[in-house]
C-alpha cells in the first residue's frame, strides 16, 4: 500500500486502476465545484451550455444531448424557467411541441457558472502543465469516444 498526502493508505491494486483514479478525480472536482455554487448549478450549467451551443432545443433533445433522463431534464428546465433563465416557446416547425430558449438572464448565469468552473478546473489540474492538461483532455475524450454514450 502507498501512503497518500493525508497519511491514509490506499491499496496499490486500487491506485493502479484508471477507473478508480478517474472516480477520485471526479469526486474531488465535484467537491471543489460545490464549494462556491449550489449543487443544482452543475445541472443548470449542463442545460444552459447545451442551449448556448445548440440553440433552442426541445426537452427531449436536451436529454439526448446530455444523456439525462426526461424527468431530470423536466426538473432542471422547470427550475430555470421559474428563475427566468430559460423560457418555453411553441416550436414554429411543430406547433404541438415546445422548445426551450436561453434568455439573457440564463446567459449571464451561464457566464457566472463558467467563471467558477474555469477556476475549479485550474485548481483541480494545478499539478499539470498546460500541455499535460491538453493531453489529459485528449486522452479522456478518446476513451469516452470509444464507448457508447452512457446515461448520466
Tens digits of pLDDT across the chain (152 residues): 555 666 678 899 998 999 999 999 999 999 999 998 988 999 999 999 999 999 999 999 999 999 899 899 999 999 999 999 999 999 888 888 889 999 999 999 999 999 999 999 999 999 999 999 999 999 999 999 999 877 66
Q: How many CB atoms lie within 10 A of CB 59?
A: 20
Give the number of domains in the chain.
1
SS3 102: strand
Q: Is the pTM of this model over 0.95?
A: no
H or E segment and range at residue 107? helix 104-124
Does residue 54 fall inside a structural domain?
yes
Residue 46 domain-assigned (yes or no): yes
The whole-number pLDDT of residue 137 equals 96
Q: Which three cell numbers stand for residue 128?
A: 499539470
Residue 76 lies in a domain: yes
What is the per-residue DSSP string for 127-139?
TS-HHHHHHHHHH
Residue 58 structural domain: 38-144
Q: Do the bridges between strand 94-102 and strand 2-3 make them parallel or antiparallel, or are there none, so unpaired?
A: unpaired
Residue 138 forms part of a structural domain? yes
13, part of any domain: no
What CATH number corresponds to the domain at position 100?
1.10.10.10
Is residue 75 domain-resident? yes
Cβ atoms within 10 Å, residue 45: 19
Please report whether residue 82 resides in a domain: yes
Amino acid at each position: 500500500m502507498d501512503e497518500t498526502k493525508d497519511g491514509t493508505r490506499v491499496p496499490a491494486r486500487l491506485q493502479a486502476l484508471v477507473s478508480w483514479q478517474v472516480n477520485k478525480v471526479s469526486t474531488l472536482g465535484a467537491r471543489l465545484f460545490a464549494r462556491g455554487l449550489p449543487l443544482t448549478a452543475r445541472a443548470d450549467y449542463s442545460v444552459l451550455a447545451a442551449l448556448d451551443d445548440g440553440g433552442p432545443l426541445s426537452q427531449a433533445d436536451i436529454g439526448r444531448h446530455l444523456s439525462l433522463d426526461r424527468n431530470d431534464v423536466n426538473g432542471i428546465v422547470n427550475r430555470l424557467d421559474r428563475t427566468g433563465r430559460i423560457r418555453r416557446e411553441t416550436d414554429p416547425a411543430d406547433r404541438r411541441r415546445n422548445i426551450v430558449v436561453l434568455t439573457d438572464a440564463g446567459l449571464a448565469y451561464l457566464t457566472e457558472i463558467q467563471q467558477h468552473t474555469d477556476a475549479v478546473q485550474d485548481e483541480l489540474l494545478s499539478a499539470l502543465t498546460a500541455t499535460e492538461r491538453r493531453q489529459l483532455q485528449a486522452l479522456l475524450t478518446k476513451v469516452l469516444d470509444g464507448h457508447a454514450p452512457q446515461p448520466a
